[in-house]
Amino acid sequence: MYNVLTDTDSYKYSHFLQYPPDTTHISSYIAARRAETVFFGLQALLLEHWSRPITHADVDEAMTLVGHGLPLNEAGFRRIVDEHNGYLPLRVEALPEGTVAPAGTPLVQVVNTDPAMPWVTSFAETALLRIWYPTSVATRSFRARQIIHQAFEMTSDAPISEELLKLHDFGARGASSEESARIGGCAHLTCFRGTDTVPALLHARRYYAERMAGYSIPAAEHSTITSWGREGETEACRNMLLQFGGPGRILAVVSDSYDLFSAVRNIWGGALKAEVQNSGGTVVIRPDSGDPAVVPVETVQLLGEIFGTTINGKGYRVLDPCVRVVQGDGIDVEMIRIILRNLAAHGYSAENIAFGMGGALLQRVDRDTFGFAMKASARRDSKGNWHDVYKDPVTDPGKRSLRGRLAVVEENGQFLTVRQEALFGRRNLLRPVWECGKLLERDSFTGIRQRIDFALAGPGRQNPGSQPAERASGSDPGHLAQGAPLLREIRYRAELCSTAHAMA
């Protein structure tokens, strides 16, 4: 159903008549002008929307829009089919996905390859600029990861494998569409491993060859608890233990259906205390109402009083392994910071709590959040000369654009944007990744995650130019597979499900 010729803004249809007559090429770039971002999502976008050749039937469909009020370039559209086998005559260069780039750094550069079609560069802007969305979600998850990482460094002895599971994607139902859920959900998984957004797993598998990009656990919702009635809440919770508890296993139970603190004291810490302690697994208590800055911290404290704590090497309290807390209500990046700060102020380690983020992760973001824009920066004439193209509005210097054919280099751990003629032998990190329907460079999910981990380690540690693209399917690094109880548990469950399916 997708037609690249109709995936554009109306006014783009008239632009083929607007360039100087001797123009043969237009070169444009995409950047986030307002903040540092984690670049992600281009590979999937290109494979999903640009790898299918257009046909004359697609041109016919586009031409039905003539009455829309704009001139349509039928000759140009049919040239794509006849001369370029249906593929847009464009070359796309981009930073390696997973690169953490400073504000204003070109993430993508695109230029037409057919000198008779300079208009096609800008025509593709509408579709191509949508990389703002996965990049923005990946950036949001990265900022949450930075906060959680810092809290772990200050208050926890736990391995990185636990840190990776501390922010869970709860955003599928709040996303604007299935497409948004899978694209944004996949972007989140570049920084974390926890998700309830199933389409995100398929997105990572289809476009980044990642067999299993994220994990989840059995969890109750209000309907599965309240269907037992108020008087049956204890039995509802006991049923969760019977169905999903056991050595090394983890389950989450929403516990605020009626009275959160009564449930913690009288059900988990009373009627079911011995069963929780003897199960050999972990029950994760989920508050889902009240002040998110206060209630989860009070829940951790109450569980500490009931089940006991130990003091870790950093001097902070850690709950008995049989209980933990997850907060999924009212969570955004700043609330994570507040909760972890409050938790530490009460002497508790960050490892006692996990977070779920919904609309604030996948939906509460737009193109202006980080100031994404695609701007033309160079024009080539029929004599082969390149000319600078730029905007410099006196009313808003922040919208001043870059000039010329661009390159990005890395020096002493810092990114610099330079003109291509000023490379002087330095490696251009804007790699050719796509040309006329062909993917030239493939980023693996493992490679993307490694680049993000390098950036997380601090200034001077990231060097995407030294991180080669990985062509094999990615998976979690070995230290994660060996070290995380949750990862061991979900893989155990996956094996059980596979065996049951085979027997059926």
pLDDT surpassing 60 at residue 464: no
Task: Kindly indicate the confidence band of residue 501, based on its pLDDT and cuts at 50, 70 and 90.
Answer: very low
Give every CB contact of residue 110 below 8 A, 6+ residues apart in sequence. Answer: 27, 28, 29, 30, 90, 91, 92, 93, 121, 124, 128
User: What is the per-residue pLDDT across 182-194, written as a single tens digit (0 to 9) for each?
Assistant: 999 999 999 999 9
pLDDT surpassing 70 at residue 387: yes
In a domain, 4, yes or no: no
In a domain, 313, yes or no: yes
Q: Are strands 309-311 and 194-195 parallel, antiparallel or unpaired?
A: unpaired
Distance separating alpha carbons of residues 496 and 473, to the nearest angstrom: 23
Residues 235 and 116 both lie in one domain: no
Whether this model's pTM surpasses 0.75: yes
Average pLDDT on 197-209 reads: 98
Distance separating alpha carbons of residues 474 and 269, to the nearest angstrom: 42
Average pLDDT on 91-100 reads: 98
Residues 358 and 376 both lie in one domain: no
Give the angle subtended at the CA of 62 by the CAs of 56 and 64, to the nearest 5°: 110
What pLDDT is recorded for position 461?
46
Residues 438 and 319 both lie in one domain: no
User: What is the per-residue pLDDT across 112-170, written as a single tens digit (0 to 9) for each?
Assistant: 999 999 999 999 999 999 999 999 999 999 999 999 999 999 999 998 889 999 999 99
User: Which string of DSSP letters, residue by residue, matches 272-301?
Assistant: THHHHHHSSSEEEEE--SS-TTTHHHHHHH
Average pLDDT on 376-388 reads: 98
In a domain, 381, yes or no: yes
Last residue of a domain, one of 339, 362, 385: 362
Average pLDDT on 92-121 reads: 98
pLDDT surpassing 50 at residue 487: no
Q: Kindly report the number of other CB atoms within 10 A of residue 55's CB atom.
A: 13
Number of domains in the chain: 2
Provide the CATH number for the domain around residue 35: 3.20.140.10
Task: Assess contact for 312 and 157: CB atoms under 8 A.
Answer: yes
pLDDT surpassing 50 at residue 479: no
Task: Kindly indicate the confidence band of residue 502, based on its pLDDT and cuts at 50, 70 and 90.
Answer: very low
Residues 308 and 226 both lie in one domain: yes
In a domain, 116, yes or no: yes
Last residue of a domain, one of 421, 442, 459: 459
Average pLDDT on 321-325 reads: 98
Which residue would you say has higher pLDDT here, 476 or 223? 223
Q: Which structural domain range is residue 395 located in?
A: 10-123+371-459
**Phi and psi (nearest 5°) for 3?**
-130, 110
Residue-averaged pLDDT of the chain: 92
Task: Kindly indicate the confidence band of residue 459, based on its pLDDT and cuts at 50, 70 and 90.
Answer: low
What pLDDT is recorded for position 471?
37
In a domain, 339, yes or no: yes
Residues 357 and 378 both lie in one domain: no
Output the 3-class SS for 190-238. Answer: CCCCEECCHHHHHHHHHHHCCCCCCECCCECCHHHHHCCCHHHHHHHHH
Residues 343 and 241 both lie in one domain: yes
Residues 356 and 377 both lie in one domain: no
What pLDDT is recorded for position 466?
41
pLDDT surpassing 90 at residue 473: no
In a domain, 415, yes or no: yes
Provide the CATH number for the domain around residue 292: 3.20.20.70
Residues 341 and 193 both lie in one domain: yes
Residues 162 and 88 both lie in one domain: no
CA-wise closest residue to 131 among 14, 191, 200, 49: 49
What pLDDT is recorded for position 476?
38
Average pLDDT on 66-89 reads: 94
User: What is the per-residue pLDDT across 395-414, written as a single tens digit (0 to 9) for each?
Assistant: 999 899 999 999 999 998 89
Residues 242 and 300 both lie in one domain: yes
Residues 195 and 308 both lie in one domain: yes
Residues 355 and 387 both lie in one domain: no
Average pLDDT on 358-373 reads: 97
pLDDT surpassing 90 at residue 54: yes
pLDDT surpassing 50 at residue 472: no
In a domain, 134, yes or no: no
